[in-house]
Amino acid sequence: MNVIKQAYDLAKTEYAKLGVDTDAVIKKMADVNVSLHCWQTDDVGGFETPDAELGGGGIQVTGNYPGKANSIEEMRADLDKSMSLIPGKQRLNLHAIYGEFQGSFVDRDEVDVEHFQGWIDWAKEREIGLDFNASCFSHPKSNDGFTLSSKNEEIRLFWVEHVKQCRKISAEMGKQLGTACVHNIWIPDGSKDTPVDRSGHRKLLKKSLDEIFAVEYPKEHIKDAVESKLFGIGSESMVVGSHDFYMGYAVKNEKLICLDNGHFHPTEQVGDKISSTLEFVDEVLLHVTRGVRWDSDHVVTLNDDVTMIAQEVVRANVLDRVNIGLDFFDASLNRVGAYVVGTRATQKAFLIALLEPTKLILKFEEDAKYFERLAMLEEMKTMPFGAVWNYYCEQEGVPANGAYITDVQQYEKEVLLERSMVEA
Ligand code: RNT
Ligand code: ZN
């Protein structure tokens, strides 16, 4: 007796009463492709030097749980393990600090396709797409708090060159893999205390972006995104790349806007921004994360924030214009487990959104029947979406429920703890 199937059949009947076809929803989940951020496996350290670790830039990783990936091989093993426990088709999102530098020091302005050919081949074998990011942090030339908006021309041009190289790499990834690579620019530039020249730095950032984007690549190979932020540690008083700045830049220059839900005032909702932004740009990139009191990048859970993001994407019928990426890094727990929980939570939010009888609720809304709308939205919260989720997982050949917990525990015992023991 297949309990999962039985529960699914009951759920299917329940949803059918509301006009929702659960089989069709499960099929539609094929359009929900989540890009896994490689930096959760090693706490945003990268492999430029053997002991590379995240340094500054206003982002922080806390915790020292054993089992961190210390090499590309270990990172790939962790990614394979994670992907084997996540339903659906994913992508992989790399940062420039994760190239295969073969033991030699390659500075940021020298990163090139050859350092990422191994990753392209890796992705090709797995039939997944790659996304990419310039890494404008953890570097001596980012220490004074400014990169692309630096008043030091040598530093500014160094980072312009870095990002240009990263776009070249991205375009090649997209070309070889047959799926456009989303290249995202986030820079740490900002000021801890009250600056008097906000304008000067913003003019410089605009100039740098113009120089970077002067190089054109086919749209089928690369999609360029820019990511704003409200504040960071060390950039509390001003962030050069604010939301207003990038929104204007993206609209004017037809770029993608990256919406990271840790990058706004806590009472602002990224879910609310999607329909506005998409009136003016072709596509958005999401950085799905969980900020706890600040942009803390906790592992994503199925909370209201993420649920609303998914609902807004689905309700506006814009799945094909939204690139879903993750952005969390927690070093205080099993990192593979963190991946699995965070990715599955994001997928669950989309499943829930797809299971909504939106037309029915919309009718209440348009008839000004607000009690009925409210009641329906409340009722949706206790519908048996878990049964649909479990069946979807089973169909995809990955553990349903929390059955992945034992897989992760076993991997920890056999692989992750061995790593730490070798290290110690
Ligand atoms: C930082 C941004 C950025 C980074 C990653 C590592 O606040 O969110 O996206 O987290 O690029
Ligand atoms: Zn982000």
Is the Cβ–Cβ distance between 240 and 149 less than 8 Å? Answer: yes
Q: Does the structure show a pLDDT above 70 at 424? A: no
Mean predicted confidence (pLDDT) in 113-140: 98
| Res 408: pLDDT | 98
pLDDT in tens, 253-283: 999 999 999 999 999 999 999 999 999 999 9
Question: Dihedral of CA 79/115/58/205: which sign?
Answer: negative
| Res 112: pLDDT | 98
Q: What percent of the chain has pLDDT over 70?
A: 99
With b meaning 16 or more CB within 10 Å and e meaning fewer, what string describes 20-49? bebeebbebbeebbbbbbbbbbbbbbbbbe
Query: Which ligand sits nearest to residue 328's alpha carbon?
Result: 1
State the first-to-last Cα distance of the chain, in angstroms, to the nearest integer.
48
Known catalytic residues? 186, 227, 229, 260, 263, 287, 295, 297, 327
How far apart CA 254 and CA 260 sit, in angstroms, is: 19
Q: How far is the CA of 39 from the centre of ligand 2 (A)?
A: 11
How many residues appear in the chain?
Answer: 424
pLDDT in tens, 302-344: 999 999 999 999 999 999 999 999 999 999 999 999 999 999 9
Element (H, E) at 244: helix 243-253
Confidence tier at 166 by pLDDT (50, 70, 90): very high
| Res 1: pLDDT | 75
Residues around ion ligand 2, judged by CB within 5 A, are 260, 287, 327
Q: Please, what is the average pLDDT of the chain?
A: 97
Cβ of 410: how many Cβ atoms within 10 Å?
11
pLDDT in tens, 167-204: 999 999 999 999 999 999 999 999 999 999 999 999 99
User: Which residues have C-beta within 8 Å of that of residue 200, sequence separation ≥ 6?
Assistant: 151
Q: Is the CB of 287 under 6 A from ligand 1?
A: yes
How far apart CA 162 and CA 174 sit, in angstroms, is: 18
Q: What is the DSSP string of 14-57?
A: HHHHTT--HHHHHHHGGG--EEEEGGGTTTT--SSSTT-----T
| Torsion angle (degrees, nearest 10) of CA 45, 46, 51, 57 | -40
Q: How far is the CA of 188 from the centre of ligand 1 (A)?
A: 9
Question: Pairing mode, if any, of strands 190-191 and 238-239?
Answer: antiparallel
Q: Which domains does the chain have, with CATH numbers?
A: 1-31+357-424 (no CATH), 32-354 (3.20.20.150)
| Torsion angle (degrees, nearest 10) of CA 227, 230, 231, 236 | 140
Q: Is 244 exposed, middle or buried (0-12, 13-18, 19+ CB in 10 A)?
A: exposed
pLDDT in tens, 13-71: 999 999 999 999 999 999 999 999 999 999 999 999 988 888 878 888 999 999 999 99
Helices (H), 288-412: 304-315, 335-354, 358-366, 370-380, 385-395, 404-411
Q: Both tokens of residue 388?
A: 């649909």
Q: Is 218 exposed, middle or buried (0-12, 13-18, 19+ CB in 10 A)?
A: exposed
**Residue minimizing CA distance to atom 7 of ligand 1:** 59
| Res 421: pLDDT | 55
**Residue minimizing CA distance to atom 3 of ligand 1:** 186
Hey, which of 184, 327, 329 would you mutate to test ligand 1's pocket, going by the most ligand atoms within 8 Å of its Cβ?
327
Element (H, E) at 260: strand 256-260
Q: Both tokens of residue 384?
A: 């048996």
Question: Pairing mode, if any, of strands 238-239 and 256-260?
Answer: unpaired
Mean predicted confidence (pLDDT) in 364-389: 98
- Backbone torsion region of residue 317, taken as left when φ is above 0, otherwise alpha when ψ lies between -120 and 50, otherwise beta: left
